[in-house]
Structure 1
Amino acid sequence: MHYDVIVIGGSYAGMAAALQLVRARRAVLVIDAGERRNRFASHSHGFLGQDGVPPSEIAASARRQLDAYPTLTWLEGRVEAVTGRADEFTVATSDGGSHHGRRILLATGVADQLPAVEGLAERWGKSIFHCPYCHGYELGQGRIGIVGCSPISIHQAELLTDWGSVTLLVNAAVDLSQEDGAALERRGVTIEESPIVRIEGHADVAMADGRLLRFAGLFTATRTSPSGSLAEAMGCALEEMPMGIQVRTDAESKTTVTGVFACGDVARAPHSVSLAVGNGAMAGAQVHRSLLWPETIAPTHAVGRVR
């Protein structure tokens, strides 16, 4: 079968895009590896109509709604390569399959590169987070620790003061200028210079000087990059952003490769479920537009790698 659109990635952005396309009665194939970024979190917050619902339930409900459309095909698997050109793409999957489509929409999401702190990875999404709008309220205005990892940690510490009493754990990873220190002090942020030994318990931080600092929750600013190397292998330009690397897109979700679009966390920041859904819905509409008016398919930005 030759699909109108092949969506690579079936999480929130990918499903939102697919919904717009199947409602336009287009033949859509979604290929999903089943690795949602927020799979470690027990509940999702800040998403209107789904506040406090487990991420797995949101995804399952969305999938059921998509399955009601006869032009949708869903394949659980992993994409190995994409070749060809607009209107004649071929997608090879890990099971040896070969699938053909007119447009490609990348909704593969991103991978989080966590700070190398003992005990952090095991608590990621449970008591250690990156988004205050998603998880800050549930901490009940308790003590919040910021595990320093980059200059963004300074901004994160200032921002989180609306959710509780904040301590910035510098951990030899953040260079604070006098101006930075003064700004943090004005916001009531406590600065801890002693290195972190490990994180234990719920969100307790063992410091190199022997103290154990207890927090209601911890935040850190992860560095992100596209999940897998597919976009780069296809020739899509990547760009360096404050939070990491993302696929370069224009205002119409087009990548630098004609006929290839991208949406969700892999193509935009900041990251949250609600923002991914909104961006995915818009991307789906833009892909549909390119099918109706092929003369609009060319990217509007300069072609070439940013990095």
Structure 2
Amino acid sequence: MMFDAIVVGGSYAGLSAALQLARARRKILVIDAGQRRNRFASTSHGFLGQDGRGPGEIVADARKQLAAYQTVEFSDDLVEAVGKADKGFSAQTASHGDFEARRLILATGVADELPDVPGLRERWGKSIFHCPYCHGYELDQGQIGVLAVSDMSMHHALMLPDWGPTTLFLNGAFVPDADQLAKLQTRGVKVESEPVARIAGDQADVELRDGRVIPLAGLFTMSKISPASPLAAQLGCVLEEGPLGSLIQTNGAKETTVAGVFACGDATRSFSSVAIAVADGATAGAGTHQSLIFHDH
């Protein structure tokens, strides 16, 4: 069966892209392996109308609504390989064989490479975060830490005092210059140069190598990101190095450098949230639909 589009990834961006195509009465297939980036978080925030809901609940509702459209099919599977076919593209899955479509939408997300600090990984998404807009308010103006990974962590450190008293843990990642120190002082940010030994406690208490313990309501840090799937690279899509890692390059309609292949969500932008992923997916879905009409790749 030839689909108008295959959407690889059934999280916020992928389902949003699929919805636009479903409403245009196009025949689409959503293939999803069920690995949402925010699966570690208990609640999602900052998405209008869904603030404070569980991430899985938002996805389940969206999928139920999408399934009501008769031209939509789902496959709970992993796409292992993609390639060009006679009339479009093929997708090879781990369990359900091959599928073909005239267009391909990659909404495969990213993988987070976290700082190598004991106790950090098991608290990721629970008391250690990357997005102040998503999780800062719930810390209730308690003590907040920023674990530096490079001088880019200055951005976090200067933002977070709006959510609570903030300490920047340099952890050997960089040494602030005089101008940076002045900016931190203006924002009331404490600077701690003693290396971090580990994260402990019920929240995110920072234990320093000299034995001191800094109790925190929450800790923020930056992960290094990379596409969670090799599919874009398999197709020859251009990847660009952003400040936080590799992203799939797209144009304003969310089409990649390979004609007929679109991409959306966290794999295409460095600033990410559920609300932004949904908007990005809607753009990709509309762009894909219009390409089916106006561009015969």
C-alpha contact 1:147 1:170 (8 A) present in aligned 2: yes
C-alpha contact 2:4 2:101 (8 A) present in aligned 1: yes
Q: What is the aligned partner in structure 1 of residue 146 from structure 2?
A: 146
Q: CA deviation at 1:85?
A: 5.0
C-alpha separation in 2, matches of 1:286 and 1:86: 22
C-alpha contact 1:85 1:258 (8 A) present in aligned 2: no
Q: Which amino acid aligns with 1:284?
A: G
Q: Which amino acid aligns with 1:56?
A: G
> Does residue 122 of structure 2 align to residue 122 of structure 1?
yes
Once the two structures are superposed, what CA deviation does each residue of 1:219-276 show, in whole Å capped at 9, x if it has no partner?
0011111102111111010001112110000111110111100001111131000000
The secondary structure found in structure 1 opposite 2:258 is coil
C-alpha contact 1:37 1:110 (8 A) present in aligned 2: yes
Q: What is the aligned partner in structure 2 of residue 303 from structure 1?
A: none
Q: Which amino acid aligns with 1:184?
A: L
Q: What is the aligned partner in structure 2 of residue 47 from structure 1?
A: 47
Q: What is the aligned partner in structure 2 of residue 95 from structure 1?
A: 95
Q: What is the aligned partner in structure 1 of residue 286 from structure 2?
A: 285
Q: What is the aligned partner in structure 1 of residue 193 from structure 2?
A: 193
Give unpaired runs (5+ residues) of structure 2. Answer: none
Q: What is the aligned partner in structure 1 of residue 24 from structure 2?
A: 24
C-alpha separation in 2, matches of 1:87 and 1:21: 19
Q: Which amino acid aligns with 1:48?
A: L
Q: What is the aligned partner in structure 1 of residue 247 from structure 2?
A: 246
C-alpha separation in 1, matches of 2:269 and 2:226: 11
TM-aligned CA distance change 1:86 to 1:144, over 3 Å: farther
The secondary structure found in structure 2 opposite 1:38 is coil
Once the two structures are superposed, what CA deviation does each residue of 1:126-169 show, in whole Å capped at 9, x if it has no partner?
00000000000000111100011122211100011100000000
Give matches, 1:49-198, under 5 Å: 49-85=49-85, 87-95=87-95, 97-198=97-198
C-alpha separation in 2, matches of 1:81 and 1:273: 27
Q: Which amino acid aligns with 1:286?
A: G
C-alpha separation in 1, matches of 2:64 and 2:147: 39
Runs of 4+ in 1 over 3 A off after TM superposition: none
Query: How big is the alpha-carbon RMSD for the aligned residues of Structure 1 and Structure 2?
Result: 1.1
Identity of aligned residues (%): 55
Q: CA deviation at 1:89?
A: 1.0
C-alpha separation in 2, matches of 1:86 and 1:240: 32
C-alpha contact 1:111 1:226 (8 A) present in aligned 2: yes
> Does residue 207 of structure 2 align to residue 212 of structure 1?
no
Q: CA deviation at 1:96?
A: 5.4
Give unpaired runs (5+ residues) of structure 1. Answer: 298-307
Q: Which amino acid aligns with 1:251?
A: G
C-alpha separation in 2, matches of 1:263 and 1:162: 30
C-alpha contact 2:77 2:96 (8 A) present in aligned 1: no
Q: Which amino acid aligns with 1:267?
A: T
C-alpha contact 2:148 2:221 (8 A) present in aligned 1: yes
